[in-house]
Amino acid sequence: MQVVRIDPFFKRLFAVVAIGIGLWLIYLLIPVILPFLTAFILAYLLNPIVARLARIMPRWLSILIVYTAIILGFGVLLWWLLPTLWTQIESAWKYFPRLVEWYNSDIRVWVNDNSRFNLPVLESQIVSDTLVEYLNKNYNVADAQSFLMYIMNSGLTVINNTGLVVLVPILTFYFLFNWNERLQTWKAALPATSSKKIIEIARDCDKALMAFIKGQLLVMILLGVVYAVQLQLIGLELGLIIGMVAGIASFVPYLGFGIGFIAAMIAGLFQFGMDWLQLGLIAGAFMVGQAVEGYILQPLLLGDKIGLSPLWVIFAVLAGASLLGFVGMLIALPVSAIINVLFRHAYAAYQNTDWYKGRKQYKLFE
């Protein structure tokens, strides 16, 4: 029987084409894959809690208890937050006339007296009418048919998003329920010669990610409290919500500080006008927050858990933002933690090579 040998070139070409088709199919299926990916990430985050509860009760019951605790927690948070948020939004809405008055009495006078510009006087009603006219002109709000189509499209979007909101918890439940069996299946699929090392690397990545997530959550909560308490003591009416948002946004390095500082300064200008003492206190509050985060919270709660220097942290965030935008900034540090673990294992393997130990001489250039 004659054996037909395929040219290596065609083998490589077939592999490249197959990979290309696979990537193209994945790209087309991104809307379908995203809910499953989101559910898997949520299951990974919730599994440690579910696993502890599953020691004393059935696993399905532990999952339901975790779900109930999350729903009750969000309910209590909204019950406490929404009235406060509504009050502060009303206060923010009242700042608009103050902004117009500050512009007319301070900014306009100063610019007209110290430059060649002659800024006009603004009135709140004129600004509101201008805004409505802009919306009518650019978004066809006055066109009833266009407005109805916009409402219908928005309704379809809401229905789709609601479907995802319902689908993700269901998928998360199934991931959690069969988590251990799925892990055993994946372990059994590993090649016998490399399974021990692969499992070791996976465990190191898991430890780095969990340590980072737990520490980062504590940093976010405590930093939000630090910002909110300081701004409330200063007397900033929007201090509570700005402090909380700054704390949550601190999951991305320097983003929470930037958003909180800009929002607090704008709110301070609306509320206090050009009161340099109050504005200086607001700026000082964020300087204190940065010092607390950099010298107390992160060293104590995160420390060297991800093993990255400040330079690499900044580079990772900027690289993530450049590649994937805001999502890239969110995942930059967790991905960097995994890459750091992989690099450590690769470097350890390199140190065991004959080339590193000098047992063999390799000529790079003839």
Q: Please tell me the predicted confidence (pLDDT) of residue 159.
A: 47
Contact 266, 102 (CB under 8 A): no
Q: Is the alpha carbon torsion for 184, 188, 191, 192 positive or negative?
A: positive
Indicate if the pLDDT at residue 247 is higher than 50: yes
Q: Is residue 131 part of a domain?
A: no
Asked whether residue 78 falls in the same domain as residue 219, the answer is: no
Show the CA angle centred on residue 11, arms to residues 9 and 16, nearest 5°: 95
Q: Is residue 260 part of a domain?
A: yes
- Residue that wins the pLDDT comparison between 140 and 75: 75
Q: Please tell me the predicted confidence (pLDDT) of residue 65.
A: 92
- Residue that wins the pLDDT comparison between 96 and 336: 336
Asked whether residue 288 falls in the same domain as residue 212, the answer is: yes
Q: Is residue 23 part of a domain?
A: no
Indicate if the pLDDT at residue 71 is higher than 80: yes
Give the per-residue SS3 of 162-198: HHHHHHHHHHHHHHHHCHHHHHHHHHHCCCCCCHHHH
Q: Is residue 59 part of a domain?
A: yes
- Would you place residue 269 in the very low, low, confident or very high pLDDT band (cuts 50, 70, 90)? confident
Q: Please tell me the predicted confidence (pLDDT) of residue 204.
A: 87
First to last CA, the chain: 45
Asked whether residue 207 falls in the same domain as residue 343, the answer is: yes
Q: Is residue 354 part of a domain?
A: no
Asked whether residue 215 falls in the same domain as residue 247, the answer is: yes
Mean pLDDT, the chain, whole residue set: 77
Residue position matching structure tokens 């601190």? 250
Asked whether residue 322 falls in the same domain as residue 203, the answer is: yes
Indicate if the pLDDT at residue 300 is higher than 50: yes
Asked whether residue 36 falls in the same domain as residue 157, the answer is: yes
CB crowding 275-300: b at 16 or more within 10 Å, else e: eeebbebbeebbeebbebbeeebbee
Q: Please tell me the predicted confidence (pLDDT) of residue 69.
A: 92
Mean pLDDT of 213-236: 87
- Would you place residue 128 in the very low, low, confident or very high pLDDT band (cuts 50, 70, 90)? low
Asked whether residue 203 falls in the same domain as residue 171, the answer is: no
- Would you place residue 157 in the very low, low, confident or very high pLDDT band (cuts 50, 70, 90)? low
Asked whether residue 201 falls in the same domain as residue 271, the answer is: yes
Q: Please tell me the predicted confidence (pLDDT) of residue 68.
A: 93
Q: Which three-class secondary structure state does DSSP give residue 194? A: coil
The one-letter amino acid code at 73 reads G
Q: How far apart are CA 150 and CA 145, in angstroms?
A: 9
Indicate if the pLDDT at residue 110 is higher than 80: no
How long a stretch of residues is the chain?
366
Q: Which two tokens stand for residue 334?
A: 């967790």
Asked whether residue 166 falls in the same domain as residue 276, the answer is: no
Total tally of structural domains belonging to the chain: 2
Q: Is residue 128 part of a domain?
A: no
Which residue in 66, 25, 74 sits closest to 49, CA to CA? Answer: 66
Out of 110-119, 149-158, 169-178, the most confident range is: 169-178
Asked whether residue 169 falls in the same domain as residue 258, the answer is: no
Q: Is residue 133 part of a domain?
A: no
Asked whether residue 272 falls in the same domain as residue 159, the answer is: no
- What pLDDT, in 10s, does the model give residues 87-103? 666 666 666 666 667 66
Which residue in 198, 177, 201 sits closest to 186, CA to CA? Answer: 198
Domain of residue 41 covers 29-85+143-179
Q: Is residue 53 part of a domain?
A: yes
Q: How far apart are CA 57 and CA 74, in angstroms?
A: 24
Q: Please tell me the predicted confidence (pLDDT) of residue 303.
A: 54
Q: How far is CA 313 from CA 187, 236, 301, 309, 319, in A?
A: 32, 32, 16, 6, 10
Helical (H) or strand (E) element with 238:
none
Q: Please tell me the predicted confidence (pLDDT) of residue 125.
A: 53
Asked whether residue 268 falls in the same domain as residue 209, the answer is: yes
